[in-house]
A and B are shown apart, each in its own frame.
With several copies, the nearest count.
Chain A
Amino acid sequence: MTKLVYFAWVRERIGVPEEEVALPPEIETVHDLLRWLKGRGEEYAFALAHEDVIRVALDREHTDHDAKLAGAREVALFPPMTGG
């Protein structure tokens, strides 16, 4: 199982802050994951419509869309950060 966590408007649009999912074995990269999630329902399709602005962290480290999930236990999806 993989834990997915969402923040800010990604969280608001998907409607839950986190969930556990069983990823199909063919989901290898962050990009694959985003495509797969968008097929799960319109709330996902809306939240992830503009894939290029979605930031991703694997086990709490920033990564890019080409990265392999490589067994990450926690995958976070969120908009560009606006702290400070």
Chain B
Amino acid sequence: MSEHVPPSIRIQKEDFDAAREAERLTRGRRDVGAVVTFIGLCRDEHGTLAALELEHYPGMAEAEISRIAAEAMARWPLGGLTIIHRHGMVRPGENIVLVVAASRHRHAAFEAASFVMDFLKTEAPFWKKQHLTDGTNGGWVEAKESDAEMLGRWTREN
């Protein structure tokens, strides 16, 4: 891209505005042909979940997401990349994570956003505790085998 923009990474308690973040990557630019936005939201698990409590490892969370972002920027020609991950209490229907990738061409934007999410799921130090609607503690969300398996998709051939 003619204008190289460093990735923007934020770990925050507050909600984010996905549209504003996407607009930040394209405003005043005419070399961006594709913007892919991923929003991860809290589901209510068929009405059983009252909230997710997101714990994170301050300092390492930023470092790890920065590493994932740098890897994405190195693999695909991106005009911009924004990653925001919330912590604290998040209720069903609310936002948890945002990834926005901008590029000249659609495949770079799609691949980069998908790559970031796959690594974020398994490598970024965040944990989810479930608070149930019946008032009980639903325990910690367990890591899924399928998430770890997804990483195999991104093994470099060279």
Do A and B share a direct contact in the complex (Cβ within 8 angstroms)?
Answer: yes
**Closest residue of chain B to A17, judged by CB?**
B55
B6 within 8 A of A: no
A81 touches B123 (CB 8 A): yes
Distance in angstroms between the alpha carbons of A74 and B130 in the assembled complex: 28
A5 within 8 A of B: yes
Using an 8 Å CB-CB cutoff, how does the interface string of A45-84 with B read, 1 for contact, 0 for none? 0000000000001001110000000000000101111111
B40 touches A81 (CB 8 A): no
Instruction: Write out the residue numbers on chain B whose beta carbons fall within 8 Å of the beta carbon of A7.
Output: 55, 57, 125, 127
Q: Among the listed stretches B17-25, B43-51, B114-122, which one makes contact with chain A, having 4 or more residues with CB under 8 Å of it? A: B114-122
**Closest residue of chain A to B85, judged by CB?**
A83
A1 within 8 A of B: no
B10 within 8 A of A: no
B132 within 8 A of A: no
B127 touches A83 (CB 8 A): yes
- The interface of chain A, by Cβ under 8 A from chain B, is 5, 7-9, 57, 60-62, 76, 78-84
- The interface of chain B, by Cβ under 8 A from chain A, is 40, 54-57, 59-60, 63-64, 85, 96-97, 106, 117, 120-129, 139-143
